[in-house]
Structure 1
Amino acid sequence: MNLARSFLGYRLGSLNIPSANRSYALSRFPQKLTGAGRIRDRAQPQAPPTSNHWAGSSSSHGESNIWKTAQRPAMSDPHLGLTRLLLDNNTLVIERQIEMLNIFVGFEQANKYAIHNEAGDSLGFIVEEQQGLFSVLRRQAFATHRPFRAVIMDVHGTPLLWLRRPFAWINSRMYVQRLQDYASYTPEGEPVLDTFAEVQQVWHPWRRRYDLFMREKTNRVLSLASESQPEPPLTTFTQVGQVDSGLLAWRFAINDETGREIGSIDRAFRGFGREIFTDTGRYSIMFDPHLEDQALSHTTASSPGTGSLNLDRRALLLALAVNIDFDYFSRHSHSGPGGFLHTGGWD
């Protein structure tokens, strides 16, 4: 393990991190005003940490088979797998798998999702970790407040992305991790993870809102997959998008700083039987919808991966879909089994 830490070049350090979550403003895009009486500190490059003081304050603890599997050397090229998954497809279909205990006794199990393209070809999987009896009890007791971790894999079982959602009383957060420089392992073959994006839910009495953040290029938040994962400093991320959907919405448009739609997540209605008695869900993620409009109007040629969303930002939207499913359409969300009460959206 000492050799692994030396490979990182430095240990996670002693940073004075405020205990409170990020404060919310009317807008946190770098080039937009935050509103009267508010200020925004621009993120600054930070000195490399020198100790592991705050790595223990992780929001995720313990081990599981899926997490241990994700700590092994890759079976295929992770960067190529991410490219095929996210850049070769402008639309992804995410489907949560049926769990029998969810149906018969209302007992929520670990989430599992299959990823397909529009043609129905299998592209990968999203699997939430399971940690034994205590984790099962915590899942039932804390419902959508509980922490969880998940791994996004390609069809070969190679981990591509790591998702981490800390415990939260009100506004959920999800961090997105990938390999450092898409291909970094310790000499022992353990993945070196880079926390590069974050999803934050924004509280509102009835609207469904999220803020999306990307890590500043000058900052790195590195950790080993086997370590307790750190909470990044508040100045590490810059807002790149937001979601502001209406009451009981099933469609979530992601807009950039100018208000242009850069992506969307739509939950499909699967029929009354599925919505009432099962905890399944099917979501369509569309990247760069303006490319479809251009293709329909024949104004310019479009092809997958040529839009404004790069690989990391598309990965952020994929994580957002998982967070939306967990917040609003799981059996333990406010609205009931499978999100059945979400029958429409009003602005």
Structure 2
Amino acid sequence: MSWRNRDLCLEMVAKLKPLLTRARLIITRKVEWASIMFAYAQETRYIIKDPRTPRRKTPVGLIREKSNVILRQLLWTRRPFVAEFTDARGNEIFTVRRPFRWINSSIYAEVDGKEVGVVHSRWHLWRRNYDLYLGNRQFAVVENPGFWSWSFALFDEDDNLVAIIDRKVRGVGWECMQHFTNASQYEVRFGDAGKGTDKVFCFAKDMDNDLRVFLPLDLPERAVALALAVSLDHDCFSRRRLGWVLRLLGA
């Protein structure tokens, strides 16, 4: 499917614009109490907020997983699922679809059932590598060093930084709760569109330096980046019954 078809592209942009023109998004996974108390795998739920809006506590979007209850218990993080991105009123914006996987995962971003792009993971013993595609064109790559690195930088084919997905560290208390509840939180930084110019800039904190980076991502590409955020949560940070044994097998 060629997303560059003009009518199709305009239709996609109209649906994605209310959520994905924002420079920053905070994605918080809800606590799964049944999983804590009974080891029962629930459908995941997320709240999306914009930290730059005056009403920071009001969600600008929601993410809701739909999956088979039996497959969730048997396959856990390898289960197939569809997740709907909606606005705060429940109106669908786009969906992501992740088929069953054994080692390498793939997750597809779709608008009205039409595929926009896909994220494929590449297995490595400790690194977390991902390739992002829009149609047949690869527009970004992630090569995270693994271990305790919780920042996932997206680079284009010219090694330009185009977006950052950070798992936010919120103190010892929150981290202890996250360990037992999967209540992870992520920040996705896209950048601001410069007024009077076609350039887009993103400000990102990297160690001791503030970085100003050029950002050419359009709205369909941002949808694929959000699909990556969902995949990262399942691939890297969801609690597993078999722990690091599965990690060595490509979890």
- After superposition, the C-alpha distances for 1:158-179 in whole angstroms (9 at most, x for unaligned) are 1111111111111000111003
User: TM-score normalised to the size of structure 1?
Assistant: 0.57
SS class of match (1:291): strand
- Map 1:229-308 onto structure 2 (within 5 A): 237-248=136-147, 249-270=149-170, 271-288=174-191, 291-293=201-203, 307-308=215-216
Distance in 2 of aligned mates of 1:333 and 1:86: 35
Q: Does 1:124 align with 2:44?
A: no
Residue in 2 that maps onto 1:102: 35
Runs of 5+ in structure 1 lacking a partner? 1-11, 13-42, 44-76, 180-192, 216-236, 340-347
Greater C-alpha Rg = 1
Q: What RMSD over aligned residues (CA atoms) do the two structures have, in Å?
A: 2.9
- After superposition, the C-alpha distances for 1:225-255 in whole angstroms (9 at most, x for unaligned) are xxxxxxxxxxxx1211110001222110011
SS class of match (1:122): coil
Identity of aligned residues (%): 33
| Number of positions where the alignment pairs a residue of Structure 1 with one of Structure 2 | 217
Residue 325 (structure 1) shift: 0.3
Residue 78 (structure 1) shift: 8.0
Distance in 2 of aligned mates of 1:78 and 1:122: 22
- Map 1:205-224 onto structure 2 (within 5 A): 205-215=125-135
1:208 touches 1:243 (CA, 8 Å); kept in 2? yes
Distance in 1 of aligned mates of 2:181 and 2:77: 17
Residue in 2 that maps onto 1:318: 226
Runs of 5+ in structure 2 lacking a partner? 3-10, 193-199
Residue in 2 that maps onto 1:85: 19
SS class of match (2:217): coil
User: TM-score normalised to the size of structure 2?
Assistant: 0.78
SS class of match (2:134): strand
1:91 touches 1:287 (CA, 8 Å); kept in 2? yes
Residue 81 (structure 1) shift: 5.1
Distance in 2 of aligned mates of 1:240 and 1:283: 22
The code of the aligned residue for 1:308 comes to P
- Map 1:4-153 onto structure 2 (within 5 A): 80=14, 82-87=16-21, 89-119=22-52, 120=56, 121-130=58-67, 135-153=68-86
- After superposition, the C-alpha distances for 1:278-329 in whole angstroms (9 at most, x for unaligned) are 11110000114872449x99x9xx9xxx941111011111111000001111
Q: Does 1:203 align with 2:137?
A: no
Residue in 1 that maps onto 2:196: none
Higher strand share: 2
2:24 touches 2:191 (CA, 8 Å); kept in 1? no
Residue 137 (structure 1) shift: 2.5
1:243 touches 1:252 (CA, 8 Å); kept in 2? yes
